[in-house]
Chains A and B, each alone.
Chain A
Amino acid sequence: MKNPAIIGASIPRLDARQKVTGQALYTDDLTLPGMLFGAILRSPVPHARIKRIDVSKAKALAGVKDVVTGADTPQVKFGNWRLVPDSQDELPLAVDKVRFIGDEVAAVAALDKETALRACSLIEVEYEELPGYFSVEDSTQEGAALIHAESEGNVSLARKIKYGDLEAGFAQADYVREDTFRVHAVSHAYLEPCSSLAAPDEGGRVTLWTSTQVPYIVQCLLASTLGLPENHVRVIKLNTGGGFGGKMELRKWEFCAAFMAVRTGRPVKFTLRRADELASGRRRHGMPIRSKVGFSKDGLLMAKDFDVLLDGGAYNSMGPTATFLCGNFGAMLYRYPAYRYLGRHVYTNKPPAGAMRGFGAPQALFAAETQMNMAAHDLGIDPIDLRLLNAMETGDEIPEVATISSCGFKESLVKVRQMSGWDVKRQEKKPGHGIGVGCYSFISGGVFNWFNTKYNFASAEVRVFEDGTAHLLTMATDIGQGSDTVLRQILAAELGIGVDKIRLTASDTAVTPKADLGTWGSRVTLMAGNAVVQAAKKIKEMLIPVVFGHFDLNQIHDIAFENDRVFSKARPDKGFSFGECVYKALKGRRGEPLTAFGAYTPRNKGLVSPAFSFGAQVAEVEVDEQTGLIQVHKMYTAHDCGVPINKMAVEGQLEGSIHMGLGYALMEDFVMKDGRTLNTTFLDYKIATAQDMPPSQSVEIDTYEPEGPFGAKEAGEGLVSPTAPAIAEGVFHATGYRCLDLPITPPKVLQGLGRLKG
Chain B
Amino acid sequence: MATPHFTVHQPATLEEALDLLGRHRASVKLLAGGTDLIMKLRGGAMSADHLVSLNRVGGLNRINYQDEDGLVLGAGARISDVAAHPDVRKHYPALAHACSVMATTQIRNMGTVAGNLANAAPSADTAAPLLAYRGSVVLVERGGRRQVKLEEFFKGPGLTVLEPMEILEAIRVPVPPGRAGSSYLRLSARSQVDIAAVGVAGFLALDLDGCMMGVRLACASVAPTPVRCPEAEAMLEGQRPDPRLLARAAVACVRAARPIDDLRATANYRRAMVQVLAGRVLQKCLSMAQGGAQ
Contacts and interface: CB of A to CB of B under 8 A. Distances in A.
Which of B263, B268, B277 lies at the interface centre, i.e. has the most chain A CB atoms within 10 A of its CB?
Answer: B263
B194 to A, nearest CB: 6
Contacts of B2: 113-114, 117-118
Contacts of A628: 189
B189 A691 contact: no
B146 to A, nearest CB: 34
Contact of B273 (A113, A114, A627): A627
A671 interface: yes
Given A114-B3, A117-B1, A679 B263 contact: yes
A746 interface: yes
Given A755-B272, A756-B268, A689 B191 contact: yes
Contact of B192 (A683, A691, A755): A691
Contact of A747 (B104, B265, B276): B265
Range class of the B interface residue count: 20 to 34
B199 to A, nearest CB: 13
B3 A629 contact: no
A667 interface: yes
B193 A756 contact: no
Contacts of B189: 628-629, 745-747
B109 to A, nearest CB: 16
A318 to B, nearest CB: 28
A757 B272 CA distance: 10
B254 to A, nearest CB: 13
A671 B269 contact: no
Which of A114, A684, A746 lies at the interface centre, i.e. has the most chain B CB atoms within 10 A of its CB?
Answer: A746
A275 B268 CA distance: 29
A692 interface: yes
Contact of B263 (A684, A688, A689, A756): A684
Contacts of B269: 746-747, 750, 756
B276 A626 contact: yes
Interface in A611-633: 626-629
Contacts of B190: 666-667, 686, 745
A629 B1 CA distance: 36
A686 B3 contact: no
Contacts of B193: 689, 691-692
A691 B190 CA distance: 12
Contact of A627 (B187, B191, B195, B268): B187
Given A114-B3, A273-B1, A627-B276, A689 B265 contact: no
A667 B277 CA distance: 21
A678 interface: yes
Contacts of A684: 263-264
B80 to A, nearest CB: 16
B263 A692 contact: no
Nearest to A690: B193
Interface string B178-199: 0000000001011111110000
Nearest to B276: A626
Contacts of B27: none
Nearest to B272: A756
A684 B265 CA distance: 11
B247 to A, nearest CB: 12
Range class of the A interface residue count: 20 to 34
B266 interface: yes
Interface in B89-131: 104
Interface string B258-294: 0000011110110011001100000000000000000
A493 to B, nearest CB: 41
A113 B3 contact: yes
Contacts of B191: 667, 686-689, 691-692
Contacts of B268: 747, 756-757
Contacts of B1: 117, 273, 275
Contacts of B272: 750, 755-756
Contacts of B266: 747
Nearest to B5: A114
A667 B190 CA distance: 5
Contact of A686 (B104, B194, B273): B194
A750 B190 CA distance: 14
B195 to A, nearest CB: 7
A691 B104 CA distance: 10
Nearest to A275: B1
Given A113-B2, A627-B187, A692 B192 contact: yes
A28 to B, nearest CB: 14
Nearest to B275: A626
Contacts of B277: 627
Nearest to B273: A627
Nearest to A750: B272
A118 B2 CA distance: 8
A118 B44 CA distance: 14
A749 to B, nearest CB: 10
A745 B264 CA distance: 11
Interface string B193-233: 11100000000000000000000000000000000000000
Nearest to B269: A747
B202 to A, nearest CB: 17
A273 B2 CA distance: 11
Contacts of A275: 1
Contacts of B192: 689, 691-692
Nearest to A689: B193
Contacts of A692: 191-193
Which of B2, B3, B195 lies at the interface centre, i.e. has the most chain A CB atoms within 10 A of its CB?
Answer: B2
Nearest to B279: A626
B263 A678 contact: yes
Nearest to B189: A746
Nearest to B4: A114
A114 B3 CA distance: 7
Nearest to A668: B190
Nearest to B105: A691
Contacts of B187: 627, 629
Nearest to B194: A686
Contacts of B276: 626-627
B69 to A, nearest CB: 37
A117 B2 CA distance: 7
Nearest to A671: B263
B49 to A, nearest CB: 15
A747 B188 CA distance: 11
Contacts of A755: 272
Interface in B74-96: none
Nearest to A667: B190
Contacts of A683: 195
A680 B194 CA distance: 15
A755 B268 CA distance: 11
A58 to B, nearest CB: 15
30 contacts: A113-B2, A118-B2, A273-B1, A626-B276, A627-B187, A627-B276, A627-B277, A629-B189, A666-B190, A667-B190, A679-B263, A683-B195, A684-B264, A686-B194, A688-B191, A689-B191, A689-B192, A691-B193, A692-B191, A692-B192, A692-B193, A745-B189, A745-B190, A746-B189, A747-B189, A747-B265, A747-B266, A750-B269, A755-B272, A756-B268
Given A627-B276, A756-B272, 11 more contacts: A273-B1, A626-B276, A627-B273, A686-B194, A689-B193, A691-B191, A691-B193, A745-B189, A747-B269, A750-B269, A750-B272
Closest 8 CB pairs of A and B: A114-B2, A691-B192, A689-B193, A667-B190, A686-B190, A746-B189, A747-B269, A626-B276
